[in-house]
Amino acid sequence: MAEDLKNYSALVVEDDASGLAIISVMLRRLGLRTIMERFADSAIERAKSMPKLDVVFLDLGLPDADGYEVLKALRADPNLKDIPVIAVTARDASTELPKTQEAGFDGFLGKPLNRNRFPDQVRRIIRGEGVWEIYQ
C-alpha cells in the first residue's frame, strides 16, 4: 500500500499537536515523506525551501495567521502556485467549504478525518482530483 506514494512529499500545517500527529502518521503509513509545521510563517518558509513538494494539508485556524493567508502566500510564489493545497478544518463546513472553493483551495477535508476514507482521498489528491468532503 505504501509503495505507490513513496515518491511524494506532503507538508502538514496544523497547530494542534494531536491533529498534526494523526495526519502525519496517516500520510507516512501511505508512504509519503511528511514535513510538519505548526505556524503559518514557518510553514511558508518550509514550503519555499523544500526541494520537492507535492501537496499541502493546511489547517484554517492557525495561531499566527489563518489558512487563507497562508494559501495566498503560497499562490504568490511562482514555484508553489500550482501545488495542491487542501483545507483541513473542524469549522462549520456549510460556511467554510464554499469559502475555501472561492479562495482557490484544491480540496476540503472536514475534521475529524475518516481514517478509512483518507487513503483514497490522498490518492485522488495526488492524481490531481479535487476532494471536497465533510466529516460524516
Query: Which value, to the nearest 10 degrees, does the dihedral of the CA atoms of residues 128, 40, 53, 34 take?
Result: -100
Q: Does the pLDDT at position 121 exceed 90?
A: yes
pLDDT tens, position by position, 16-52: 999 999 999 999 999 999 999 999 999 999 999 999 9
Q: Does the pLDDT at position 107 exceed 90?
A: yes
Q: Which of 9, 14, 62, 60 is nearest to 37 (CA)?
A: 14
In CATH, which superfamily holds the domain spanning 3-133?
Response regulator (3.40.50.2300)
Three-state DSSP at 133 gives strand
Cα 45 to Cα 120: distance, rounded to the nearest angstrom: 29
- Kindly list the domain boundaries of the chain, sorted by start residue: 3-133
- Give the sign of the dihedral formed by CA 75, CA 128, CA 67, CA 53: negative
Cα 38 to Cα 44: distance, rounded to the nearest angstrom: 11
Residue 1 pLDDT = 44
Beta sheet of 55-59, edge-to-edge order: 33-37, 9-13, 55-59, 85-89, 107-110, 131-133
Q: Does the pLDDT at position 74 exceed 70?
A: yes
